[in-house]
Amino acid sequence: MRSVDRRAFLQLTVGIGATAVLPRLANALDYPVRPVRIVVGYAAGGTADVTARLVGQLLSERLGQRFVVENRPGAGSNLAAEDVVHARPDGYTLLLASGANAINATLYKKLDFDFERDIAPVAGIIRVPNVMIVNPSFPAKTIAEFIAYAKAHPGMINVATLGNGSPQQVFSGLFEMMTGVKLVHVPYRGGAQAVTALLEGQVQVFFGATTVMIGYIRSGRVRGLAVTTAQRVDALPGIPAMAEAVPGYEATDWLGLAAPKATPKDIIDLLNKAVNAGLADPKIKQRLSAQGSILNGTPADFGKLIRSETQKWAKVIQAGTIKPE
- Give CATH superfamily name and number for 6-128+252-319: Bordetella uptake gene, domain 1 (3.40.190.150)
Q: What angle do CA 71, 279, 15 make, to 5 degrees?
A: 80
Helix (H) or strand (E) holding 314: helix 299-319
pTM over 0.75: yes
Residues of the chain with CATH 3.40.190.150: 6-128+252-319
What does residue 294 show for φ and ψ, rounded to 5 degrees? Answer: -70, 140
Beta-carbon-side half-sphere exposure of residue 33 (alpha carbons within 13 Å): 5
The type of residue at 1 is M
Percent of the chain with pLDDT over 90: 73
Is 158 strand, coil or helix? strand
Residues of the chain with CATH 3.40.190.10: 130-244
* pLDDT value of residue 319: 87
Question: Which neighbouring-strand residues pair with 206?
Answer: 133, 160
308: Cβ–Cβ under 8 A, 6 or more apart, which residues?
none
Report the alpha-carbon distance of residue 196 to residue 217 in Å, rounded. 14
- Please state which CATH number belongs to domain 130-244: 3.40.190.10
Question: Which neighbouring-strand residues pair with 132?
Answer: 207, 226
Encode pLDDT of 213-235 as tens digits.
999 999 999 999 999 998 999 88
Report the alpha-carbon distance of residue 44 to residue 25 in Å, rounded. 29
Encode pLDDT of 167-193 as tens digits.
999 999 999 999 999 999 999 988 889
